[in-house]
């Protein structure tokens, strides 16, 4: 059915279209677990042709015409537009700010707003920061994304600064309580404020030494409730922390039939009915697609059941998060080994395996899908979050800097993550980790069609499992912490196989776009990226020269976007970021190398320290040993594969095996000590990937003696 792709694309667009929060599937941001699950189920119909064919056959079998499906989707769309335009909502409109003075550390002056912005209220509605289903906030449950800005970059190690977990906040909520007449409400809080419920007004006296409880009798008739709340206990770094009272909290509840429950808010019944009908129609679409999903994965049912059992066991195991995370990673590694050594799983099964593993591993570290991790002061993750928030608050691509000082593209990555998945960090992190795992599985695509020695299969399985362990142990942590490199690791996993084999123009175009985006995320990876482009162009020019030109043009256009930004917003000719030339980054200048060659003790010490870290010969905390061990194993395998290729005179693969050297060569100049070893992971990751590609069936496209021919070396 030719209309299958547009139909599923339309459904995905409608699923993401914003609506009223009366719906479960209320569109962007996709921050609720049910709608996230719906997105996970809907996406593979765009990714896998097999699913679209099966679903088209299903519709044809039931004599469902495409026109009827379009009408069905149009009705859902109209309903969502009506709900969005109605302005109706559930919950209390919450307006949040902080009365804290911005830090003296350099920060962007954001425009004043009575209510701070939130990704949960992406379209600035209800004159509020966001809508809260209940007013039920403990010390760690506020999830205020605007606190992750450089305005509040208070260095807690300097006496007199505000501790970031205790930043003063003010809040205002308004709405109609959804309780029976005559039911009182109870407010338990730390802080102070006032409550107005119809004609009843109550003061919440200051309570900072311990939490206080206030009971409020209801007004004679159903009336709106308004709560003004603030918290500022005056705590500062350097004080006796034991003397501090509880952190900010407020919990508003109602007691019905002797049961105390969080106070809900009332919403219009008519619009709730329409929201329920719309949700039912969306659910019906997915339910109709389930048979196609079932038929596509049932061949792998035994493996999926075993995998699911392992995921469940370690997800609920009463153990420390690190133990559960390692257990989940081992389960995934075992599945990958079965995928390589036994009968490979189908693509759709791999999709669900990667998605489930990414979600489960990140879930053990998070208290909920909407949890906002409060980034620590003085670190890159806080700056990245601040720059992303600047895009939200100013509606400008300036992103917090007129001329890039921090790496260019990552602020836009963070903004898109939040715009898609809300204020919380877990769902976007789970998607990123799933993409990493999917890239690892993708390295072994098509192996079932070739027979080759078992020893090589076991070596490939070992490398693949090593990549999975790196992902579950280290990459998951980098994603969770909000550091920037993980995007380039994911892009390399997906781009390099297509560039290596040069199997199709589409693969080269996609790889070129991916690697040029990786450059804008981490410009210090330019040497390895340019090398990959060069090898692909040399190997495929005669066969698909036009595709190579197009890919190069696209890559160049993307790579120049930082320069365009710096010219437009700052009027300076800076191709990437001005911080690239800072002395803190340029640790081994030509003068240092000259002094090293002359035996200068200080230069010798600087070079030895840098080279030791580059080659994993350095002191590191115990928590880093597994990561360094995996990277060392990749290095040993890479050296062995290179030696084997030389012994077998497979000269065409040697330039590709040299790619990790190009990624690491930049650190003959640039430092690697900050957040070690994240700067050099790309090189060791590339060692594993190129080794897998060389050991796998097929090989790189290389020019032959005959014009236009492409020779594939034997493996």
Three-class DSSP category at 208 = strand
Query: What's the farthest any 2 CA atoms get from each other in the chain?
Result: 94
Confidence band of 586 (pLDDT split at 50, 70, 90): confident
Distance of CA 379 to the CA centre of its chain: 18
State the pLDDT at residue 335: 96
Cα distance between residue 332 and residue 436, in whole Å: 12
State the pLDDT at residue 542: 80
Report how far apart, in Å, the C-alpha atoms of 15 and of each of 11, 12, 49, 302, 569 are. Answer: 6, 5, 21, 32, 35
Three-class DSSP category at 424 = coil
Per-residue tokens: 249 = 């909290």
Q: What is the mean pLDDT of residues 621-633?
A: 95
- Lowest model confidence (mean pLDDT) among 77-86, 258-267, 612-621: 258-267
302: left (phi over 0), alpha (psi -120 to 50) or beta: alpha
> Chain-wide mean pLDDT for the chain?
91
Show Cβ contacts of residue 289 under 8 Å, excluding neighbours closer than 6 positions.
41, 42, 45, 51, 55
Q: What are phi and psi of 102, to 5 degrees?
A: -60, 145
Residue pair 365/328 in contact (Cβ under 8 Å)? The answer is no
Q: What are phi and psi of 230, to 5 degrees?
A: -150, 155
Cα distance between residue 441 and residue 338, in whole Å: 11
Confidence band of 706 (pLDDT split at 50, 70, 90): very low
Q: What is the mean pLDDT of residues 134-155?
A: 94
Does residue 3 or residue 381 have the better pLDDT?
A: 381
Confidence band of 445 (pLDDT split at 50, 70, 90): confident
State the pLDDT at residue 273: 94
State the pLDDT at residue 4: 81
Identify the residue whose tokens are 């921050």: 31
Residue pair 305/312 in contact (Cβ under 8 Å)? The answer is no
Q: What are phi and psi of 48, to 5 degrees?
A: -125, 120
Confidence band of 545 (pLDDT split at 50, 70, 90): confident
For the cut 60, the answer to whether the pLDDT of residue 707 exceeds it is no
Cα distance between residue 288 and residue 447, in whole Å: 33
Q: What are phi and psi of 77, to 5 degrees?
A: -60, -45
Show Cβ contacts of residue 184 under 8 Å, excluding neighbours closer than 6 positions.
215, 216, 217, 218, 254, 255
Q: What is the mean pLDDT of residues 250-260?
A: 86
Confidence band of 268 (pLDDT split at 50, 70, 90): confident
Cis peptide before 677 (omega within 30 of 0): yes
Q: What is the mean pLDDT of residues 139-149?
A: 94
Q: What is the mean pLDDT of residues 193-207?
A: 96
Per-residue tokens: 482 = 């909000």
Top-ranked range on mean pLDDT: pick from 152-156, 249-253, 577-581: 249-253
Cα distance between residue 665 and residue 658, in whole Å: 11
Cα distance between residue 586 and residue 384, in whole Å: 22
Distance of CA 176 to the CA centre of its chain: 36
State the pLDDT at residue 302: 94
Instruction: Give the dihedral of Cα atoms 525, 615, 585, 556; nearest 10 deg.
Output: -10
State the pLDDT at residue 289: 95
Sorted by where each begins, the domain ranges of the chain are 4-88+269-298, 92-262, 317-373+424-482
- What pLDDT, in 10s, does the model give residues 456-475? 889 999 999 999 999 999 99
Distance of CA 407 to the CA centre of its chain: 17
CA nearest neighbour of 489 among 515, 465, 523, 463: 515
Q: What is the mean pLDDT of residues 494-510?
A: 89
**In sequence order, what are the beta bridge partners of 173?**
94, 227
For the cut 50, the answer to whether the pLDDT of residue 705 exceeds it is no
Task: Tell which CATH classification among 1.10.10, 2.60.120, 3.90.870, 1.10.3470 matches the domain 92-262.
Answer: 2.60.120
Confidence band of 197 (pLDDT split at 50, 70, 90): very high
Confidence band of 449 (pLDDT split at 50, 70, 90): low
For the cut 60, the answer to whether the pLDDT of residue 319 exceeds it is yes
Q: In angstroms, what is the C-alpha Rg of the chain?
A: 28
Burial class (CB in 10 A: 0-12, 13-18, 19+), 270: exposed
State the pLDDT at residue 3: 56
For the cut 80, the answer to whether the pLDDT of residue 599 exceeds it is yes
DSSP alpha helix (H) spans, 266-300: 269-297
For the cut 80, the answer to whether the pLDDT of residue 256 exceeds it is no
Q: What is the mean pLDDT of residues 514-519?
A: 97
CA nearest neighbour of 349 among 282, 445, 430: 445
- What pLDDT, in 10s, does the model give residues 85-104? 998 999 999 999 999 999 87
CA nearest neighbour of 231 among 173, 189, 263: 189
Q: What is the mean pLDDT of residues 35-49?
A: 95
Q: Are strands 249-256 and 136-137 parallel, antiparallel or unpaired?
A: antiparallel
Q: What is the mean pLDDT of residues 384-403?
A: 95
Q: What is the mean pLDDT of residues 626-650?
A: 96
Confidence band of 701 (pLDDT split at 50, 70, 90): low
Per-residue tokens: 340 = 């390589």
For the cut 50, the answer to whether the pLDDT of residue 40 exceeds it is yes
Top-ranked range on mean pLDDT: pick from 338-342, 375-379, 413-417: 413-417
State the pLDDT at residue 324: 95
Please count the other Cβ atoms lying within 10 Å of the Cβ belonging to residue 644: 14
Cα distance between residue 699 and residue 568, in whole Å: 44
Top-ranked range on mean pLDDT: pick from 2-11, 51-60, 236-245, 410-419: 410-419
Q: What is the mean pLDDT of residues 63-87?
A: 94
For the cut 50, the answer to whether the pLDDT of residue 498 exceeds it is yes
CA nearest neighbour of 428 among 445, 413, 444, 443: 413
């Amino acid at each position: 059915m030719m209309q299958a792709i547009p139909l599923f694309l339309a459904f995905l667009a409608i699923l993401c279209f914003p609506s009223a929060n009366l719906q479960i599937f209320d569109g962007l941001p996709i921050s609720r677990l049910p709608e996230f699950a719906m997105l996970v189920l809907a996406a593979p119909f765009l990714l896998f042709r097999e699913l679209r064919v099966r679903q088209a056959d299903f519709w044809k079998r039931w004599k469902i015409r495409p026109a009827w499906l379009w009408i069905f989707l149009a009705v859902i769309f109209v309903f969502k537009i009506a709900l969005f335009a109605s302005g109706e909502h559930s919950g209390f409109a919450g307006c949040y700010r902080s009365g804290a003075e911005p830090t003296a550390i350099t920060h962007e002056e954001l425009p004043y707003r009575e209510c701070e912005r939130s990704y949960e209220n992406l379209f600035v509605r209800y004159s509020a920061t966001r809508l809260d289903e209940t007013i039920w906030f403990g010390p760690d449950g506020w999830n205020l994304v605007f606190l992750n800005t450089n305005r509040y970059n208070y260095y807690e190690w300097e006496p007199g600064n505000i501790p970031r977990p205790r930043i003063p906040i003010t809040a205002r909520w308004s709405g109609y309580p959804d309780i029976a007449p005559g039911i009182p409400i109870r407010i338990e809080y730390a802080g102070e404020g006032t409550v107005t419920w119809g004609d009843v007004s109550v003061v919440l006296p200051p309570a900072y030494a311990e939490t206080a409880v206030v009971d409020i009798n209801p007004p004679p008739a159903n009336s709106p409730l308004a709560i003004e709340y603030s918290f500022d206990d005056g705590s500062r770094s350097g004080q006796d922390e034991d003397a501090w009272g509880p952190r900010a909290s407020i919990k508003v509840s109602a007691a019905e039939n002797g049961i105390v429950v969080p106070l809900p808010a009332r919403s219009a019944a008519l619009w709730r009915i329409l929201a329920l009908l719309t949700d039912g129609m969306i659910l019906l679409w997915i339910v109709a697609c389930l048979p196609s999903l079932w038929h596509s994965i049932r061949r792998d049912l035994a493996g999926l059941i075993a995998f699911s059992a392992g995921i469940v066991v370690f997800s609920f195991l009463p153990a420390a998060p690190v133990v559960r995370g390692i257990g989940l990673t081992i389960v995934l590694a075992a599945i990958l080994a079965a995928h390589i050594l036994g009968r490979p799983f189908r693509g759709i099964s791999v999709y669900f395996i990667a998605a489930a593993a990414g979600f489960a591993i990140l879930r053990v570290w998070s208290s909920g899908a909407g949890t906002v991790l409060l980034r620590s002061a003085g670190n890159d993750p806080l700056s990245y979050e601040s720059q992303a928030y600047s895009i939200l608050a100013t509606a400008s691509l300036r992103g917090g800097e007129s001329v890039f000082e921090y790496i260019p593209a990552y602020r836009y990555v963070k903004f898109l993550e939040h715009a898609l998945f809300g204020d919380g960090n877990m769902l976007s992190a789970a998607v990123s980790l799933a993409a990493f795992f999917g890239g690892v599985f993708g390295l072994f695509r098509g192996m079932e069609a070739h027979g080759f020695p078992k020893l090589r299969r076991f070596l490939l399985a070992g490398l693949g499992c090593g990549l999975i362990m790196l992902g579950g142990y280290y990459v998951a942590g980098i994603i969770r912490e909000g550091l920037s490199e993980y995007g380039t690791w994911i892009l390399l996993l997906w781009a390099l196989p297509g560039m290596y084999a040069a199997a199709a123009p589409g693969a080269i175009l996609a790889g070129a776009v991916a690697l040029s985006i990786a450059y804008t995320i981490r410009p210090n990876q330019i040497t390895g990226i340019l090398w990959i482009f060069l090898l692909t162009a040399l190997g495929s020019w005669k066969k698909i020269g036009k595709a190579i030109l197009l890919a190069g043009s696209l890559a160049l256009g993307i790579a120049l976007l930082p320069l365009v930004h710096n010219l437009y917003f700052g009027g300076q000719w800076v191709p990437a970021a001005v911080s690239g030339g800072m002395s803190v980054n340029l640790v081994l200048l030509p003068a240092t190398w000259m002094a090293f060659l002359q035996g200068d003790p200080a230069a010798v010490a600087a070079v030895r320290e840098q080279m030791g870290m580059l080659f994993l010969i350095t002191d590191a905390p115990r928590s880093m040993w597994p990561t360094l061990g995996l990277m060392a194993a990749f290095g040993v395998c890479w050296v062995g594969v290179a030696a084997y290729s030389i012994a077998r005179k497979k000269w065409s693969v040697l330039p590709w095996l040299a790619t990790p050297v190009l990624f690491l060569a930049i650190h003959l100049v640039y430092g690697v000590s900050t957040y070690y070893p994240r700067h050099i992971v790309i090189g060791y990751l590339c060692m594993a990937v190129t080794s897998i590609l060389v050991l796998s069936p097929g090989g790189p496209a290389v020019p032959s003696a005959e014009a236009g021919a492409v020779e594939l070396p034997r493996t």
